[in-house]
Structure 1
Amino acid sequence: MSSIITPTTRRQFLSFLAVSATAATAAAACGSAAGSSAAKKTTTLRYQGSVGQVTPAELAQDLGYLGGVKLKWVGNTISGPQDVQSAATGQTDFGGAFNGAVIKLQAAGAPITSVIGYYGVDRDQYGGFYVPDDSPVKAARDLTGKKVGMNTLGAHYEAVLDIYLQRNGFSAADIKKVEPLVVPPINTEQSLRQKQIDVGVLSGIFRDKALATGGLRKLFSDYDLLGAFTGGTYVFRDDFLKRNPETVRAFTSGVAKAIEWARTTPRDQVIDRFTKIVQTRGRNENADSLKYWKSYGVAGKGGVIADKEFTTWITWLEQQGQIAKGKVKVGDLYTNKFNPYAGGGS
């Protein structure tokens, strides 16, 4: 089973997001009304993975850090917004996405809360916007009328692209002349080299693999623009948090420990562990790209969430008119209460 987002334009994606949030709210309301008092507690968490990659949650399980909590893989996704929408509607128990996408879903009424950061940006783990060496695109103004391939719309890389264009003098009308398109990360390099797109967003192992082949040039990156930050968080439905606080605590604690294990363990040992996980989980994947892994990029120790990791995107979404000014309060978006590293813990 594979859940992959299908909208390919900005307008289609925003419509999809609005419908998803409405569905998520309705599903959660039905679930609460139907059996909040009788609902069973759970220690098995359904989730979506990523092809050829090992998420912090999967690493935590392999290291034995989740205690009695078990993960149940139900498919793969390339889209953070789709992943948290699946959690909000009850198709999965947790999901992860760019914090801006979490904000938009919650603003639209989805009853979800972030509990821990799981990916971010640093000098090793960043998303670069790349063009072929012979591309005429050399500066922001050259992007007018060009196609930019990224993993999903309405999320991290579209936000970064907009910020880059704004900082280079683009008006709202000018920004609409640059066309973001959905291209699965595993296909981005090929699409870029075959000139099916003009610019491709490459990150992590896919970026380093492409750069090792050569022939590509970086236009800019999210690290260039914003420095180091945690970009995405794992979320649970609010009713799930209320019903299963100890399960969420065990999950969050385990993921936090796994993030720190990956941060402090020699890189070759981390890659070896990742490779064994991918080779033994039976998903018909190629583990070759894992040798390029460098970091999860999470800024806060153990994935502890900071206000600024949401306020940056609240401001951007308000400026874009995608959420009403003042509608979303940062304190309503996340909690660190399940994370043992919060408040200086370990």
Structure 2
Amino acid sequence: MPGRLKPRVPNRPLRSVVTALVAAVVLLLCACGAGGEATETADGKTVLRYQGWSGKVGFHELAADLGYYDKVQLEWVGDTTSGPQDIQSAATGEIEFGSAFNGAVVKLNAAGAPITSVLSSYGADAAEYTGYYVLENSPIRSARDLIGKKVGMNTLGAHHEFLTREWLAQQGLTPEEIKTVQLAVVPPVNTEQALREGQIDVATLNSVQRETALERGGIRPLFTDRDLFGAFSYGTYVLRDDFIAANPEAVRDFVQGTARAIRWTQTRPRDEVVARFTDIINKRGRAESVDAIRYWRSSGIPVPGAVVAERELQTWIDWLVRNGELDEGEIVAGDLYTNEYNPYANGTYPADGGPDGQASAGAK
């Protein structure tokens, strides 16, 4: 089992928005050791602090609502709007787990943060994906048409930037030509409007923003992340290595419960999942809207129980090497994740088993 108890020292600095704060992360880890200590409830459950997303239900929140945890109890400490920020908070010990795009996970690992991926957290499947849209009458038809144009996305240094640059490279643009494509940060709620008003040439849209924009019409996809890699998991849940080493049973319970919740969404009718999510949001009392939930289409994770595949991390290691941000062999994908705790990886639960994600006969 992975258990890097000391921060690794990066061979050289990485150039990205994602790792701009990593030096502070590593210094904090070195100074206070983050530690593997965990708070427990009166009945002996390990408390796992986490950040949420307004108007959304995390798979871990679903797992808790379904009663899939035995040894852990979740504690919401506030909301986040950034995957990189979420896993940085996990690395510094402000929370116990976080989730982000795997490219950001690789970069944080490479910069010395001792974290390990334990479970896939989002991706693209037959029903869920991220699209890069232009106006219906836009002259932009190919990657070459994007030279000198502006692409709007929610943040830099994460999923949307990686996918944009990867598509441009796959379409034959040179590094110099790719540099001319402007990447602009636009809040997701404003991205469609920015496209329609001509402030950007391409809008990155997914989930509710994609569905509502398509309902209004007048846009078309230039490409999607599904076009690039097909069904693919793009993000993972991460925990600190010292926490894993000190609390293996809590980690096992968190992973099995969350994996079962993901499988629940993969096997239940969409309307049932939406109804459950709506109920969870209404019950938790965070003064948030449930409007976006009705646009939920699927888990986006194409693998039963969210088992992590090595290629899902290796893809972004290779990308960073090609970009000159990592040295060949500096990071090994197999060192960044573990499926040890996932019951869908070791056969405890059948990948094609019951719709409620329950264990097969005789399994614990």
TM-score (structure 2 length as normaliser): 0.86
Establish whether residue 308 from structure 1 lines up as the match of residue 311 from structure 2. Answer: yes
**Residues 246-325 of structure 1 mapped to structure 2, 5 A cutoff:** 246-325=249-328
- 1:113 alignment counterpart: 116
| Aligned equivalents of 1:48, 1:14: Cα separation in 2 | 26
Structure 1 residue 40: deviation in Å?
Answer: 4.4
| Aligned equivalents of 1:28, 1:197: Cα separation in 2 | 40
Deviations 1:217-238 (A, max 9, x none): 1110010111011110000111
Establish whether residue 99 from structure 1 lines up as the match of residue 107 from structure 2. Answer: no
AA matched with 1:27? L
Secondary structure of the residue that 1:260 maps to in structure 2? helix
Secondary structure of the residue that 2:161 maps to in structure 1? helix
Shift in CA distance, 308/35, structure 1 to aligned 2, threshold 3 Å? closer
Question: Which structure: larger Rg?
Answer: 2
**Residues 178-257 of structure 1 mapped to structure 2, 5 A cutoff:** 178-257=181-260
| Aligned equivalents of 2:113, 2:94: Cα separation in 1 | 14
Shift in CA distance, 264/40, structure 1 to aligned 2, threshold 3 Å? closer
Q: Which has the larger displacement, 97-106 or 287-296?
A: 287-296
Establish whether residue 73 from structure 1 lines up as the match of residue 76 from structure 2. Answer: yes
Deviations 1:270-297 (A, max 9, x none): 0111111222322222212211211111
Shift in CA distance, 195/74, structure 1 to aligned 2, threshold 3 Å? farther
Structure 1 residue 317: deviation in Å?
Answer: 0.9
CA contact (8 A) 1:22 1:110 kept: no
Secondary structure of the residue that 1:92 maps to in structure 2? coil
Task: Provide structure 1 residue ranges, at least 5 long, that are not aligned to the other structure.
Answer: 1-12
Secondary structure of the residue that 1:27 maps to in structure 2? helix
Shift in CA distance, 322/343, structure 1 to aligned 2, threshold 3 Å? same
TM-score (structure 1 length as normaliser): 0.90
Segments of 4+ moved more than 6 angstroms: none
Deviations 1:132-169 (A, max 9, x none): 22323222112122221112211212111111111222
CA contact (8 A) 2:15 2:325 kept: no
**Residues 320-339 of structure 1 mapped to structure 2, 5 A cutoff:** 320-339=323-342
Establish whether residue 87 from structure 1 lines up as the match of residue 93 from structure 2. Answer: no
Deviations 1:167-200 (A, max 9, x none): 2221111111111122232332232223322211
Secondary structure of the residue that 1:246 maps to in structure 2? helix
Greater share of residues in helix: 1
Secondary structure of the residue that 2:21 maps to in structure 1? helix
- 1:8 alignment counterpart: none
Secondary structure of the residue that 1:250 maps to in structure 2? helix
**Percentage of pairs with the same residue:** 53
AA matched with 1:114? S
Establish whether residue 135 from structure 1 lines up as the match of residue 127 from structure 2. Answer: no
Task: Provide structure 2 residue ranges, at least 5 long, that are not aligned to the other structure.
Answer: 1-13, 41-45, 350-364
AA matched with 2:68? Y
CA contact (8 A) 1:256 1:339 kept: yes
Shift in CA distance, 105/168, structure 1 to aligned 2, threshold 3 Å? same
- 1:7 alignment counterpart: none
CA contact (8 A) 1:78 1:184 kept: no
AA matched with 2:209? F
2:162 aligned residue (152, 155, 159): 159
CA contact (8 A) 2:133 2:202 kept: yes
Say how many residue pairs are matched. 331
| Aligned equivalents of 2:122, 2:140: Cα separation in 1 | 29
The CA RMSD measured in Å over matched residues stands at 1.8
